[in-house]
Amino acid sequence: MGSGAAEEEGEPLIQSASSTDSTARRSRAALVRILIRVCVCCCCCGGGGGIAALVAARAARTSQPCSRRAFAFATLLTHRVGAKGASPCYRAAVAILLRSWLATRSRYPFLLLHTADLDAGMRALVDERPGAVVPIRTEQIEQPGASEGDLGAMATKLNLWTLGGAGGYEQIAYFDGDHVFLSNADAIFEACGCGQPFCGVWDPRMPEHRFLRTFGEPSSGNHTRRLVNAGTLVIQPDVSLASSLRQRWASRAEFMSEDLDMVATGSDQTFFNHMMGEHFRTVDQGFNLMHVGRSALAAPDGSRFVRFLHANGTAFDPATPTVVHLKAWTRGRARLEQAVHGALRARFIQPDPYVSELVRDPQCDPDRARPRNSHGARGNAQRRRLRAG
């Protein structure tokens, strides 16, 4: 699960989408380059297959992009690093996410990728509307040294790339467990655009960072930009990319030398931003709300979020995709944020015995300090340990 909401003020209200043809062309070119590298490896390593066939297969797919409209939402439910099951707060978050998403009557399925067993409460959500929530058992990806808890297994997201190919999904909108859908967000697939390798929303908390323009290609040069919040990502699954991305993750310390915190905790945010290079598109912040400045959203008198939300936690315009990124059992900080959290607790926690029981766990104590993310104290401690040893 990503960390909580941002407090920064003065963020631009709307991020312009870099939706030019040349961006799309560059994105396709970048993917073909990555694909060719993968193919070369297949051939040299005796995997066979042939470059021409793979490139042709991609060309055939992209000539009728997303004609099947095989789109899906997705989230992860991993077990805690060093434990057997998923933590109570993580299960509560995913249950709220699924419950809120079911209410939006999406026309696409929601893939629940899980490495932890599903308990009875989670099963009931899966069974609520047959075919809506699709459980997929997947393999947990951790690294030695990854932090314990929920964040250390976030690289399991890389398994999303295995869900493409013939009969697979053409585009997947992934959300970390700590999101709540306040309206139908099916438009995210149009907003992102078919064939786009990545789409996301800026994370205002993160400092600018230097990235290669094209992942894995040092000759493409560097560029400096903000980070996309890895809690919401639209990706194009590609079976042939899945294993090479996994290898990259395993060797991330080699090209993320400036990111020792992240390398130590195993948190995925910077890694995904490296992968994205400059080949991505931003979608409206309504798809990942709260990592935004409050003042940009609130009316001058502070009474409501003008663009997306009412203080009672409902979407300002039900026709506008509105997904908030928060943990409803926490109190929130700013006044409006507290009002929204309270309203969401009343809607999604109090009436639900399963979720109510889960958030009674001391780890979900609303006053408990938020676990530090990769830029926090724990990361620093691990960095010192790594340097020392």
Ligand X SMILES: *[C@@H]1O[C@H](CO)[C@@H](O)[C@H](O)[C@H]1NC(C)=O
Contacts of 363 (CB under 8 A, 6+ apart): 87, 88, 89
Q: How far is the CB of 43 from ligand X (least distance, A)?
A: 28
Binding site for ligand X (CB under 6 A): 210, 221-222, 310, 312, 314
| Contact yes or no for 279/30 (Cβ under 8 A) | yes
Instruction: Give me the least distance between CB of 312 and ligand X, in Å please.
Output: 4
When the beta carbons of 246 and 310 are compared against ligand X, the nearer one is 310
- In whole angstroms, the minimum distance from the beta carbon of 248 to ligand X comes to 16
Q: Write down the least CB distance from residue 101 to ligand X, Å.
A: 18
Residue 141 or 290 with smaller CB distance to ligand X: 290
Tell the smallest beta-carbon distance from residue 292 to ligand X (Å).
20
CA dist 45 to 41, 50, 81, Å? 6, 12, 33
Q: Closer CB to ligand X, residue 179 or residue 347? A: 347
Closer to ligand X by Cβ: residue 64 or 257: 257
CB-CB contact of 244 with 17 (8 Å): no
Taking the least distance from each CB to ligand X, the nearer of 95 and 182 is: 182
For ligand X, the closer of residues 68 and 210 by Cβ is 210
Shortest distance, position 8 Cβ to ligand X, whole Å: 25
Which residue has 């793979």 as its token pair? 54
Q: At what angle do helices 51-63 and 21-44 cross, to 10 degrees?
A: 150
Question: Is the Cβ–Cβ distance between 347 and 313 less than 8 Å?
Answer: yes
Decide whether 63 or 224 has the Cβ nearer to ligand X: 224
The neighbour count for residue 124, using CB atoms within 10 Å, is: 12
Please state the closest distance from residue 311 (CB atom) to ligand X, in A: 7
